[in-house]
Amino acid sequence: MSSGSPLLADLIEALRCLPGVGGKSAQRMAFHLLERERERGLKLAAAMEQAMRRIGNCTRCRNFSEEPVCALCAGTGRDRHVLCVVESPTDLAAIEQATGYRGQYFVLLGRLSPLDGLGPDELGLAQLAERLGEGEIEEMIIATNPTVEGEATAHYLAQLARAGGVKPTRLAHGVPLGGELEFVDRGTLAHAFGSRQSLE
């Protein structure tokens, strides 16, 4: 796109950093903001600047937080004997919204992936081991995604938990509630079949 405006080109390029946004989508967004939403665009820019500058990570669980210790970790009403390990703040939010889980969290901010430069150090696993060693946690729920990297991460986490004297558990994966077997993908079905449980 050649509009002759370096500022417009910069805006379009900046919007492309968002997930799933290519050149055409970024151009459409930029045009929409300039044509109809300049005031909201300024508000968006101000909010983004504040968020980028002021939101960091909780020193205890690594979730996004403006404070050194986030509200979930600082709260007194949560079960301090159970720790749920998730890959991202998005996963944490999903569990909070969809379940009655009232324990603690630890956010990896990724999963083991040597090709992407994500090893134990980048995932804060030394910090997690230290937390497990405090003696308060009795169960660690491993809630990584059922991908190849997620499963490798889960295996590593289970070893870490056992080394710290903590019982590791894994979220169940398989056929979704209300799903029909003929529509479930082969990998999910194979995993569900292999992880079947007794009804006794």
Residue 128 lies in a domain: yes
Within this chain, do residues 43 and 75 fall inside the same structural domain, yes or no? Answer: no
Q: Could you write out the DSSP letters of every residue in the chain?
A: ---S-HHHHHHHHHHTTSTT--HHHHHHHHHHHHHH-HHHHHHHHHHHHHHHHH-EE-TTT--EESSSS-HHHH-SSSEEEEEEEESSHHHHHHHHHHS---EEEEE-SS--BGGGTB-TTTTTHHHHHHHHTTS---EEEEE--SSHHHHHHHHHHHHHHHHTT-EEEE---SSPTT--GGGS-HHHHHHHHHT-----
**Interval 96-106: pLDDT, tens:** 998 889 999 99
Residue 36 lies in a domain: yes
Within this chain, do residues 38 and 87 fall inside the same structural domain, yes or no? Answer: no
**Interval 43-101: pLDDT, tens:** 999 999 999 999 999 999 999 999 999 999 998 899 999 999 999 999 999 999 988 89
Within this chain, do residues 129 and 159 fall inside the same structural domain, yes or no? Answer: yes
- Reported pTM: 0.82
